[in-house]
Amino acid sequence: MASLVIESDWIVPVESPAIRGGFLAVESGKIIYVGQQLPGRFRAFPKIHLSGGAILPGLINAHCHLELSDIDRPLEVPSGIDSSGPMVGWLGKLMARRRAISQSGAELAESKCNATLRGIEQAWETGTRLVVDNITAPWSGDWCERTARGFFAGARSDALKALVPEVPIHIKPCIELVDVTELRGEQTWAFAQQADASISQADAVCRRPVGLAPHAPYTASKRVVAKAVASACEPHGLVSMHLAESLEELEWTDCRQGAFREWISPWIDSQHALHIVTFDELLRILAGAHRALIAHGNYLNLRQIDWLEQYRERMAVVYCPRTHQHFRHSKHPSEKLADRKVSVFLGTDSRASNPDLSIFEEWKTACKAFPELGPRYWMAACTTGPSIFLGTEHLAGTMRMGSKSLLTWVPLGESSISCEAELWHSMLSSCGVRPLEVQVSLIETKFA
Ligand SMILES: [Zn+2]
């Protein structure tokens, strides 16, 4: 059995204090020890010393759309009095892009497959080990299997055999559900079945059970949300929904007014429109799921946040800091949510509103936007917090013994760091975050 001890300047389990000059023992892709002293039973293991950085748990991206990862630059958000509204204007650009792909004659499935593969690669390169990914038709679990298993799959050294599990990144697919017409509603559930069936293995890159993602209050009626929740109330069930993302959405759900009214009228049918409901009602329905992620939650009000407190074990908000900045939204209610002990996790959203898929950069942005919550709080928001919420502690997001060794390396340079506060400060100016196996491979190459 391949085994390895890694000695590092800093090891940061996040759910316990940082360890200065600690040891990590791994065997066949699993963590078997983390601590300050190396017990005798591990002394005969091959050893590697990593200096100038810190080892962290694998990062978790709690909200993403990998299928848009071929967009090089975020789509511009219109502003000014002539615009149809920032969110509606941006959505129009996104839909125009999709139409252009179809009209160009390019095969949509091939284009989406390539974009998804690029996204998985971008996520893995920046230390992400689990992505909660909204998927739309066409999609196949095989796309993800082929790519993710390819990282470091070739000739591996003994050290890499000990460190890297067979699957280096996992995807939690959340099937996007839209029912603006009866036909669209039927298609959405047919796609859900087909996507689930395309995941071939139980312990694979794509994790079962798949999540369900009623798209947003303007495209998902309460009927589709309730049906999704009913099938996600068993253990490990997950519903993820864009909610309270924009002021335009609020105007539409509450008063049937604003920019969405004109945008939505050509393709919405009257039956569907009757079942568009308010944020309050959607929150009440979502509370029935085993776990519910509220993507964005930018405009949740104080009363809704107070209400969420009683469901904080099963409902959490995903804040996407750089996407939030891109849309120039009002201040995110992170502090108020934290005050009520409602979990806030971090997500990137897609490349249509974000320059890359680095969750570490989201962490830095969140730390700057809400320094009072502190860097440890925000690191938990993209590691241990979502891991425990989603029940994936054995897989990604923790440094617990018995968990897979899907870990992150944060380079810190040569500066001397004497305490945990200095360590966090130093991490905030770090760039070049990478999977731990990449760092080990670099060191091996250097001394080969
Ligand atoms: Zn999204």
- Note whether residue 159 is domain-resident: no
What separation in Å is there between the alpha carbon of 150 and the centre of ligand 1?
27
| Per-residue H/E/C for 338-351 | HHCCCCEEECCCCC
97 shares a domain with 14: no
Q: Is the dihedral of CA 171, 162, 118, 443 positive or negative?
A: positive
What separation in Å is there between the alpha carbon of 426 and the centre of ligand 1?
31
What separation in Å is there between the alpha carbon of 353 and the centre of ligand 1?
9
442 shares a domain with 348: no
- Note whether residue 176 is domain-resident: yes
325 shares a domain with 222: yes
User: Cα(151)–Cα(173) distance, rounded to whole angstroms?
Assistant: 20
Extract long-range pairs of 188-191: CB within 8 Å, 24+ residues apart: 188/224, 189/227, 191/136, 191/137, 191/139
What separation in Å is there between the alpha carbon of 323 and the centre of ligand 1?
9
With beta carbons less than 8 A apart as the criterion, state whether 60 and 386 touch: yes
Say whether pLDDT at 82 is over 60.
no
What separation in Å is there between the alpha carbon of 352 and the centre of ligand 1?
10
Describe the strand order of the beta sheet including 407-411 as a list of residue ranges.
Answer: 30-35, 19-27, 3-11, 47-57, 407-411, 434-435
- Note whether residue 339 is domain-resident: yes
Say whether pLDDT at 324 is over 60.
yes
Q: How far is CA 263 from the centre of its chain?
A: 29
- Note whether residue 94 is domain-resident: yes
What separation in Å is there between the alpha carbon of 307 and the centre of ligand 1?
24
**Can you give the pLDDT at residue 145?**
86
What separation in Å is there between the alpha carbon of 423 and the centre of ligand 1?
32
351 shares a domain with 269: yes
What separation in Å is there between the alpha carbon of 26 and the centre of ligand 1?
36
What separation in Å is there between the alpha carbon of 318 and the centre of ligand 1?
10
Out of 365, 390, 415, pick the residue that ends a domain.
Answer: 390
Say whether pLDDT at 270 is over 80.
yes
**Can you give the pLDDT at residue 149?**
73
| Residues 328-340: tens digit of each pLDDT | 999 999 999 999 9
Tokens standing for residue 290? 């085993």
380 shares a domain with 319: yes
Describe the strand order of the beta sheet including 128-135 as a list of residue ranges.
Answer: 59-64, 128-135, 170-177, 211-214, 238-243, 291-296, 315-319, 344-346
Task: Indicate the number of domains in the chain.
Answer: 2
Out of 373, 390, 407, pick the residue that ends a domain.
Answer: 390
| Helices within 164-286 (DSSP H only) | 182-197, 222-230, 247-255, 259-264, 270-274, 279-286
What separation in Å is there between the alpha carbon of 128 and the centre of ligand 1?
17
What separation in Å is there between the alpha carbon of 293 and the centre of ligand 1?
11
**Can you give the pLDDT at residue 105?**
66
313 shares a domain with 430: no
Say whether pLDDT at 156 is over 60.
yes
What separation in Å is there between the alpha carbon of 311 and the centre of ligand 1?
22
What separation in Å is there between the alpha carbon of 350 and the centre of ligand 1?
7
Tokens standing for residue 31? 């963590």
| Residues 9-36: tens digit of each pLDDT | 999 999 999 999 999 999 999 999 999 9
- Note whether residue 228 is domain-resident: yes
pLDDT band at 102 (very low <50, low <70, confident <90, very high): confident
- Note whether residue 381 is domain-resident: yes
22 shares a domain with 104: no
Cβ neighbours of residue 134 closer than 8 Å, sequence gap 6 or more: 63, 64, 65, 174, 176, 213, 240
409 shares a domain with 382: no
Cβ neighbours of residue 178 closer than 8 Å, sequence gap 6 or more: 184, 185, 188, 215, 219, 220, 224
Tokens standing for residue 54? 């810190």
Say whether pLDDT at 232 is over 70.
yes
Estimate the crossing angle of helix 108-125 against helix 141-148, to 10 degrees. Answer: 40
- Among 95-104, 170-179, 278-287, the minimum mean pLDDT is found in 95-104
| Tokens 């890694």, located at residue | 6
Looking at residue 79, what DSSP letter applies?
-
What separation in Å is there between the alpha carbon of 242 and the centre of ligand 1?
6
Out of 390, 415, 439, pick the residue that ends a domain.
Answer: 390
266 shares a domain with 327: yes
What separation in Å is there between the alpha carbon of 129 and the centre of ligand 1?
19
What separation in Å is there between the alpha carbon of 320 and the centre of ligand 1?
9
**Can you give the pLDDT at residue 443?**
86
Is there a cis peptide before residue 17, judged by omega within 30 degrees of 0? Answer: no
What separation in Å is there between the alpha carbon of 87 and the centre of ligand 1?
12
149 shares a domain with 264: yes
pLDDT band at 354 (very low <50, low <70, confident <90, very high): very high
What separation in Å is there between the alpha carbon of 413 and the centre of ligand 1?
35
What separation in Å is there between the alpha carbon of 61 and the centre of ligand 1?
12
Around ion ligand 1, which residues have CB less than 5 A away?
349
198 shares a domain with 144: yes
Q: Which of 130, 127, 153, 149 is nearest to 66 (CA)?
A: 130
**Can you give the pLDDT at residue 81?**
53
What separation in Å is there between the alpha carbon of 243 and the centre of ligand 1?
10
With beta carbons less than 8 A apart as the criterion, state whether 240 and 63 touch: yes
Q: Is the dihedral of CA 324, 330, 333, 336 positive or negative?
A: positive
Q: Which residue range forms the structural domain that includes residue 53?
A: 3-57+399-447
CA atoms within 13 A on the CB side of 361: 16
- Among 144-148, 206-210, 224-228, 393-397, the minimum mean pLDDT is found in 144-148
What separation in Å is there between the alpha carbon of 178 and the centre of ligand 1?
14
What separation in Å is there between the alpha carbon of 295 and the centre of ligand 1?
7
77 shares a domain with 217: yes
What separation in Å is there between the alpha carbon of 49 and the centre of ligand 1?
40
Q: What CATH number did the domain enclosing 370 receive?
A: 3.20.20.140
Residues forming beta bridges with residue 64, ordered by sequence position: 133
**DSSP string across 351-374:** TTS-S---HHHHHHHHHHH-GGG-
Q: What percent of the chain has pLDDT over 90?
A: 75
What separation in Å is there between the alpha carbon of 215 and the centre of ligand 1?
8
What separation in Å is there between the alpha carbon of 438 and the centre of ligand 1?
29
- Round to the nearest angstrom and report the end-to-end CA distance of the chain: 23
- Note whether residue 369 is domain-resident: yes
What separation in Å is there between the alpha carbon of 237 and the centre of ligand 1?
19
- Note whether residue 256 is domain-resident: yes
Is there a cis peptide before residue 209, judged by omega within 30 degrees of 0? Answer: yes
**Can you give the pLDDT at residue 199?**
84
CA atoms within 13 A on the CB side of 194: 13
What separation in Å is there between the alpha carbon of 137 and the centre of ligand 1?
16
| Residues 50-80: tens digit of each pLDDT | 999 999 999 999 999 999 999 999 999 987 5
- How much of the chain is in helix, strand and coil states, percent to nearest 5? 40, 20, 40
What separation in Å is there between the alpha carbon of 420 and the centre of ligand 1?
34
Q: What CATH number did the domain enclosing 440 receive?
A: 2.30.40.10
